[in-house]
Amino acid sequence: MDPRYEPLFTPWKVGNVEIKNRIVMLPMEGTNMIQWEAKTGFVKGIGEFYRDRKDQNIGLFIPGLIPLISIIGSKWVYKHPEVFEPVKPVIKEIHESGAKIFFQISAGSGRSMLLPPLLRPFVKKGPLKTLSSPLIASKWWWSAPDPDEPNVWDPEVKMDLFTGDMIKKFTHAFGETALRCKEAGTDGVEIHAVHEGYLLDQFTMPYTNHRQDEYGGSLENRLRFACEIVKEIKRVCGADYPVSLRYSVRSMTRGFNQGAVPGEEFTEVGRSMEESERAIRILEEAGYDMFNCDNGTYDAWFWAHPPVYAPLNINLEYVEHIKRFTSKPVVCAGRMQPGAAADSIAAGRIDAMGVGRQLLCDPEYVTKLREGREADVRPCIACHGACLPFNGLNGKGTDIDPMHIEMGRCVLNPWTNNETKYSNSPAKKPLKIAVIGGGIGGMETAIQASKRGHSVDLYEKSGRLGGVFNAAAAMSFKEKDRALLEWYARELEKSGARVHMNTEITDIDSLTADAVVIATGAHARTLGIPGAERAMTAEEFLNGEKEVGDRVAIIGGGLTGCEIAYELALRGKQPTVIEMTEHLVGARGICMANSSMLRELLRFHKVSAYLGSVCEAITDEGVVIRNKDGQRTVPADSVILSVGYSPDGRFAAFKDRKGRPNRENLYFVGDCDRVGSLKTVIKQAYELVQRLSYK
C-alpha cells in the first residue's frame, strides 16, 4: 500500500458501530435496494451490483434512497415489511465481507421534484390532489414547506403546502421505516436530508421557508422537523442505533436557479456558514451520530454533484471547517481524491472519505488503491452522462421523463447496473477481429474483445491513440480526461491486442479477419458562409495547431463551444459565444449540474454571448451576425467554429441506403456510424463485443 493512503484504512466508529476503514460508498441514484410498488423488494440486478463491490475494501455502504411513501400508489413503506425480505441476503453478504451498511431514508423532493411531461399540464392547472388516476403520485410528493416557492425544473409549477399534519405522519413514518431497516439487519440509517435542497432542507433554509407556524422563522424552528425525526427514530429503534444525516454545509445559492461558483463572493440566500455552525450543534444535540457532508442545493446543484469544471476536493475546506463545530464524525464528498482525504483524516480534520461515481466507474477502486495499483484505476471524468443524466435549462423546464430514465450507470463502464444484462465470461467461439481506428470506440472494442478471448488487431492511421477525444481532453480543467486516455493506452497494452500505429487501412478485403470493426470517428463541420476559411475548428485550437488572439468569437454555444469559451477566459482572453438557439448548452443528455455550472462560470468570467443569432459572414473585423435586433459585427481577432461533427465517410460505400453495413461480419462503431457522445460510442462498442461473443 502507498504509505500516503494508510489513514484511509484505519478503523473508526459511528455511535457504537465500528467500521473497518474510512471509505464510505455514497448513495447513488439507481441503487435503491427496495422496489416498493411492485412489492418484489428487489430491483433487478441490485444484488449483483453490491456483490461486485462488497469484497473491494469498502468500509461503509449507504445505498440510496428509500422513500417513506411510494411515488406511485401512495403506499407507506413501513406497512409493507415484506419488501425488505429479499434484501436481507445482500445485507448478510456485506456483513460477511466485514463492511457495515446504513439504509438511507427520504421524505421526498418537495420543490425539487422532477416533473414528468405528462403531469405538467395538470399540475399547472391546480393542486395535484384533484387528480384521481391511480397512476398519479401522492400529493405529498408535490408538496413543499412554502407553496409560493416554484418548482426547480419548471417555475410555472407551484407546490402544495406540506401541512403540520403531514409533518406528524412523516415523523412517525421515519421511526417505523427505520425500525424495518433495523429488523432487516442494517447497522444504522441515514436521513436524506438537510441536504441539496430536498424537502427537509427546504424547511431549514430562509429562502424556501416562510412559514408562520412552529416550523418556520427562527433557525431552531426551521430545524425542528429534522430534529423530531431523529428523536423519533431513537425512541423506536433505541438510543444506540446510529442515525446519520446527509448534510449540506453551505447552500452556495444566490437565488432561484442561481448557484455561486468556487471563489465567488455572493449573498447567501440559503444556509450560510455562520448559520451552519449553529445548525450542526442543534442537530447533534437532537441525536444525529454522523454528518455525511457536501454543499449545494438544486439551485446550485453542481456543488452536490460536481462536474468536470469543479475543482477536485471541491467541498473539503467547508467540511473541514464544520468539523470544528461538532463532536460527531463527518464524511466529506465531492470529487474527493485519496491523498487529500488521507491527509485530512490523519490531521483530524475529517473522519472519512465519501466516494460515489468513482465506484460506479471502477468497482475495484479501493482495492487498487490499497494494493498500490492506482494506475489501473479507471478514472471517473465527472461527466454525469449515465449516473445522473437529468438535463434542463435551469428554470426554463426540461424534456426529461423521469419515468423512462436510466440512473446509477456509468458512461465509461457499461457493466455497472447492467450485471444481469451482460456477460463477462469467455467468448463461445473466439474470433479473429480487425479494428480500424484507435479512438475511444476502437480501443474499447479491442480491449473488451481481447478480454473475452478474441484475437484482435487494431489499426490506427496516425501516431497517436485517442482520436478526437485528445482535443476534448486538452482543456486545462480536464485532468481526469487525460488520465482516461492514459488508462486506455495501458489497458490496450495489457489486453494482448496487436496495435499497428501509423497504419492506414484503405482496403478492407486485405484484412484476414472473421469480423471487421470500423471505428474511424468523425471530422469537424464547417460553415458555408463567406469568409469561413478565416476560422479554425475547435479541434485545431484544442490540439494547439493554431493560435488565437485576444478577442475570440466562438461560433456554436453547445457544450464544446462553451467549454472553449471557459478555457479561453481562464487564459485571460476575451471570448464571445454566438449561438443560433436561445440557450447555451441546451442539448439533450447533458446533466443540469454540468450545464448550469458551465453557464455560471461563463457569467462569473463575464463571457458575452449572442443568442438567437445566425452567422452570415466572417471578415477581418469579426463575425457578421443577424438576430432579432438586426445585423451587427461581433469584433474578433480569431474565430473558432464549434458547430458539430460529421461521420467519417471513408468507408461509406460499405453501407446500404439505411446506413447499415452491406456485407456480413462488417460493423461500424461510434461516430463513423452516427455522431453521438462518449456514452454512445462506448456502449456501442461494448454491446458489439457482447453480440460477437455470445450469439
In a domain, 626, yes or no: yes
In a domain, 490, yes or no: yes
When divided into structural domains, the chain yields a total of 3
pLDDT tens by residue, 164-208: 999 999 999 999 999 999 999 999 999 998 999 999 999 999 999
Rounded Cα gap, residues 439 and 669, in angstroms: 10
Q: Check whether 319 has a pLDDT greater than 60.
A: yes
Non-local CB neighbours of 413 within 8 Å, separated by 6+ positions: 360, 361, 362, 378
Same domain for 553 and 517?
Answer: no
Q: Residue 235's pLDDT band (boundaries 50, 70, 90)?
A: very high
- Residue where a domain stops, chosen among 643, 663, 679: 643
CATH of the domain at 631: 3.50.50.60
pLDDT tens by residue, 484-540: 999 999 999 999 999 999 999 999 999 999 999 999 999 999 999 999 999 999 999
- Residue where a domain stops, chosen among 643, 664, 683: 643
Q: In this structure, how many other beta carbons lie within 10 angstroms of the beta carbon of residue 24?
A: 28
In a domain, 420, yes or no: no
Rounded Cα gap, residues 515 and 692, in angstroms: 9
- Classify strands 352-355 and 638-641 as parallel, antiparallel or unpaired: unpaired
Q: Residue 464's pLDDT band (boundaries 50, 70, 90)?
A: very high
Please state, rounded to an integer, the average pLDDT across all residues of the chain.
Answer: 91
CA nearest neighbour of 435 among 447, 419, 427, 424: 447
Same domain for 671 and 584?
Answer: no
457 beta partners: 434, 498
pLDDT tens by residue, 381-439: 999 999 987 776 554 555 554 444 567 899 999 999 899 899 999 999 999 999 999 99
The answer to whether 65 and 32 have CB atoms below 8 angstroms apart is yes
The answer to whether 362 and 53 have CB atoms below 8 angstroms apart is no
CA nearest neighbour of 587 among 444, 363, 391, 351: 391
pLDDT tens by residue, 250-304: 999 999 999 999 999 999 999 999 999 999 999 999 999 999 999 999 999 999 9
Query: Grid coordinates representing 59?
Result: 468500509
Tally of residues, the chain: 695
Rounded Cα gap, residues 617 and 535, in angstroms: 11
DSSP string, 305-354: S--TTSPTTTTHHHHHHHHTT-SS-EEE-SS--HHHHHHHHHTTS-SEEE
Non-local CB neighbours of 653 within 8 Å, separated by 6+ positions: none
Q: What is the mean pLDDT of residues 61-82?
A: 83
First to last CA, the chain: 42
| Torsion angle of the four alpha carbons 164, 170, 174, 175, in this order, in degrees rounded to the nearest 10 | 70
The answer to whether 66 and 41 have CB atoms below 8 angstroms apart is no
Q: What is the mean pLDDT of residues 654-664?
A: 89
H-helix or E-strand spanning residue 669 = none
Q: What is the mean pLDDT of residues 108-133?
A: 62
Same domain for 571 and 619?
Answer: yes
Q: Which of 55-69, 87-101, 127-141, 290-304 has the lowest mean pLDDT?
A: 127-141
Q: What pLDDT shows up at residue 130?
A: 43
Same domain for 326 and 468?
Answer: no
Q: Considering the entire predicted model, what is its pTM?
A: 0.94
330 beta partners: 291
How far, CA to CA in Å, does 667 sit from each of 207, 447, 508, 520, 663?
55, 16, 12, 12, 9
Q: What pLDDT shows up at residue 380?
A: 98
Q: What pLDDT shows up at residue 138?
A: 59
In a domain, 28, yes or no: yes
Q: Check whether 34 has a pLDDT greater than 70.
A: no
Q: Under DSSP, is residue 365 helix (H, G, I), strand (E, B) or coil? A: helix
pLDDT tens by residue, 545-578: 999 999 999 999 999 999 999 999 999 999 999 9
Rounded Cα gap, residues 195 and 301, in angstroms: 11
Q: What pLDDT shows up at residue 108?
A: 87
Q: In this structure, how many other beta carbons lie within 10 angstroms of the beta carbon of residue 688?
A: 22
Same domain for 496 and 559?
Answer: no
In a domain, 174, yes or no: yes
In a domain, 296, yes or no: yes
Q: What is the mean pLDDT of residues 540-547?
A: 96
Same domain for 576 and 688?
Answer: no
Rounded Cα gap, residues 167 and 163, in angstroms: 6
In a domain, 416, yes or no: no
Same domain for 45 and 161?
Answer: yes
Q: In this structure, how many other beta carbons lie within 10 angstroms of the beta carbon of residue 44?
A: 14
Same domain for 44 and 155?
Answer: yes
- Classify strands 638-641 and 630-635 as parallel, antiparallel or unpaired: unpaired
Query: Grid coordinates representing 115?
Result: 416533473
Q: What pLDDT shows up at residue 118?
A: 56
Same domain for 310 and 271?
Answer: yes
In a domain, 486, yes or no: yes
Same domain for 291 and 194?
Answer: yes
Same domain for 557 and 483?
Answer: no
The answer to whether 269 and 254 have CB atoms below 8 angstroms apart is yes
- Residue where a domain stops, chosen among 603, 626, 643: 643
Q: What is the mean pLDDT of residues 118-138?
A: 51
Same domain for 482 and 570?
Answer: no
Q: Residue 43's pLDDT band (boundaries 50, 70, 90)?
A: very low
Q: What pLDDT shows up at residue 620?
A: 96
How far, CA to CA in Å, does 644 sit from each of 31, 267, 552, 640, 671?
34, 38, 18, 12, 11
Rounded Cα gap, residues 435 and 563, in angstroms: 31
Among residues 198, 215, 247, 645, which one is catalytic? 198
Rounded Cα gap, residues 439 and 675, in angstroms: 13
pLDDT tens by residue, 586-640: 887 789 999 999 999 999 999 999 999 999 999 999 999 999 999 999 999 999 9
- Classify strands 608-610 and 574-578 as parallel, antiparallel or unpaired: parallel
How far, CA to CA in Å, does 54 sit from each of 15, 93, 292, 305?
22, 7, 20, 24
481 compared with 1, residue with greater pLDDT: 481
CATH of the domain at 664: 3.40.50.720
Rounded Cα gap, residues 315 and 296, in angstroms: 10
Rounded Cα gap, residues 12 and 1, in angstroms: 19
Please give the residue range of the domain that contains residue 633: 526-643
Q: Residue 648's pLDDT band (boundaries 50, 70, 90)?
A: very high
Rounded Cα gap, residues 222 and 654, in angstroms: 66
Q: What pLDDT shows up at residue 401?
A: 46
CATH of the domain at 342: 3.20.20.70
- Residue 198 annotated to the active site: yes
